[in-house]
């Protein structure tokens, strides 16, 4: 089996729990450190799947690798190779597939409830889940490309997830581990402090205080999502 390519765009925004999930199932994967200058491959056919993680940049920024990532996503979809996007990764998918990315009405940072859309595709990805508290850290939002199925919504961001066949884009962060949450809180403490007037932003203290309460249930959500996604791997 060809490896799954996981794209990291910022040092502390790696695959997190996804890496553990793949390792437990002996699924090969390779980490492409875009933040360290590693090149974006030109051929999606080198991999069995593509996963794009988060990052503090915008897909609308004039960064040289963004256009290359968009081309790779389009190549993967054309070749029926599953693509998964977490936050920035989901925004890359939208832009690559004809959607758009813009500033969200409110920032979302911390724990917040998402609810599934009442359609069969949402049940395929999330099982019987109606709503769950998951982790967020974003200031932008994506639109849905043509043909996509809306899957998740939240109070402050309508488009939290969509699928396009075997491809999945998410705005929220189900890949988080406790270590990642604490690292993000440390690195993003100033951003949080400057954004506390937003109704979707929690303090660093609150975010960390809820780890034990919300992380285990989010792990179950991630298991359902990742389990469905890997069914599309060749």
User: pLDDT category, 165, cuts 50, 70, 90?
Assistant: very high
User: In the chain, what are the domains?
Assistant: 4-232 (3.40.50.880)
pLDDT digit string, tens, across residues 108-142: 999 999 999 999 999 999 999 999 999 999 999 99
- CA–centroid distance for 20 within its chain: 16
pTM of the model: 0.97
Q: In this model, does residue 234 exceed pLDDT 90?
A: no
Q: What pLDDT does 114 receive? A: 98
The token duo for 221 is 């959500």
Mean pLDDT of 51-79: 98
Q: What pLDDT does 206 receive? A: 97
User: What whole-number distance in Å separates Cα of residue 140 and Cα of residue 12?
Assistant: 19
Mean pLDDT, all residues of the chain: 97
Q: What pLDDT does 48 receive? A: 98
Q: In this model, does residue 6 exceed pLDDT 90?
A: yes
pLDDT digit string, tens, across residues 134-147: 999 999 999 999 99
Sheet containing 83-86: order of strands: 29-33, 4-8, 49-52, 83-86, 167-170, 161-164, 149-154, 101-116, 131-142
The token duo for 33 is 């450190």
Mean pLDDT of 17-36: 98
Mean pLDDT of 12-16: 98
């Amino acid at each position: 089996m060809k490896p799954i390519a996981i794209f990291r765009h910022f040092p502390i925004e790696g695959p997190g729990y996804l890496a553990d999930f793949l390792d437990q199932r002996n699924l090969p994967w390779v980490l492409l450190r875009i933040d360290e200058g590693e090149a974006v491959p030109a051929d999606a056919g080198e991999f069995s799947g593509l996963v794009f993680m988060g990052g503090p940049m915008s897909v609308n920024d004039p960064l040289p690798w963004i256009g290359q990532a968009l081309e790779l996503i389009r190549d993967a979809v054309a070749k029926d190779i599953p693509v998964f996007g977490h936050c920035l990764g989901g925004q890359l998918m939208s832009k690559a597939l004809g959607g758009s990315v813009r500033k969200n009405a409110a920032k979302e940072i911390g724990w917040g409830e998402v609810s599934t859309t009442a359609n069969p595709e949402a049940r395929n990805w999330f099982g019987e889940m109606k709503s769950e508290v998951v982790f967020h850290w974003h200031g932008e939002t994506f639109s849905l490309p043509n043909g996509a199925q809306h899957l998740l919504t939240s109070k402050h961001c309508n488009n939290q997830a969509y699928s396009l066949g075997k491809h999945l884009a998410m705005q929220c962060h189900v890949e988080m581990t406790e270590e990642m949450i604490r690292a993000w809180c440390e690195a993003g403490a100033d951003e949080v402090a400057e954004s506390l007037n937003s109704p979707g932003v929690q303090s660093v203290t609150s975010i960390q205080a809820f780890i034990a309460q919300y992380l285990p249930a989010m792990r179950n959500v991630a298991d359902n999502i990742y389990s469905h996604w890997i069914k599309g791997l060749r």
